Amino acid sequence: MNMDEDRTAAIAPSIASGPLGDLKGTLAELTEAGASYIHFDIEDGKFVPVMNIGVKLISELRQYTELPFDVHLMMENPEWLIPDLAARGANRVSVHFEACPYPRRTLGMIVENGMQAGLAFNPATSLPDLSFCLPYLSFILLLTTDPEIKDPPFLPTVLKKIKAGKTQPALLNISWMVDGGINHHNVREVVEAGADVLVVGRGIYKNGKIQENMRQLKEIIVGKE
């Protein structure tokens, strides 16, 4: 494994992929299993043709864990929702580069509301020069599947964007987040590509064994498997 000895990555389980009938219990189990973040996808039904969960869930679950809440807005014109997310307890918010005509202004709104700001990119979107987004940009979220289609394939070529992005002087201190189709078969590849935070959905909840699945992912990440 070509990885520095201390190279690791944080895991951000996607709450929408879990058993929605007992989210309080699921959240407790994820916290105990060592999740670093809880990831929320908020869709508008237009930018992506689905609406899984609403923002009320963020405030409902906030009381049950101190883990940071990472919110991915998959929507057009997301600015109106930013103050509400802060009030509900979100810690990090990413908006889509494709959906924001003025991304620097939108990132600034997120920071002004006391949260970390990120830019998300669909698989087909190349990384532009993002120096104009400083000093607001804290992280980049790369989708490694086409969003919101049934059983989408993992797209490993997207990982090349991390290496390309790290050549940008403006992005030297940026955290890289990867979301889509990550499981125990490809997690090592994702981490070796330079990802810092991994959003994992079905790979965490498969067979109802959250603790076991999280343990296996972590062992692969640190090179024990």
Residues with a catalytic annotation lie at 41, 179
Decide: helix, strand or coil at residue 109.
helix
Residue in the structure block whose two tokens are 């640190």? 222
Gap between the Cα atoms of 137 and 70, Å rounded: 15
Gap between the Cα atoms of 65 and 38, Å rounded: 9
CA-closest candidate to residue 179, choices 107, 74, 57, 76: 74
Distances (CA, A) of 169 to 44, 131, 174, 216: 34, 8, 10, 35
Residue in the structure block whose two tokens are 């289609």? 149
Distances (CA, A) of 220 to 179, 190, 213, 225: 17, 11, 11, 5
Cα 58 → chain centroid: 15
* Cβ neighbourhood burial of 11 (10 Å; 0-12, 13-18, 19+): buried
**Sheet containing strand 92-96, strands side by side:** 10-13, 197-200, 175-179, 137-143, 116-121, 92-96, 69-74, 38-43
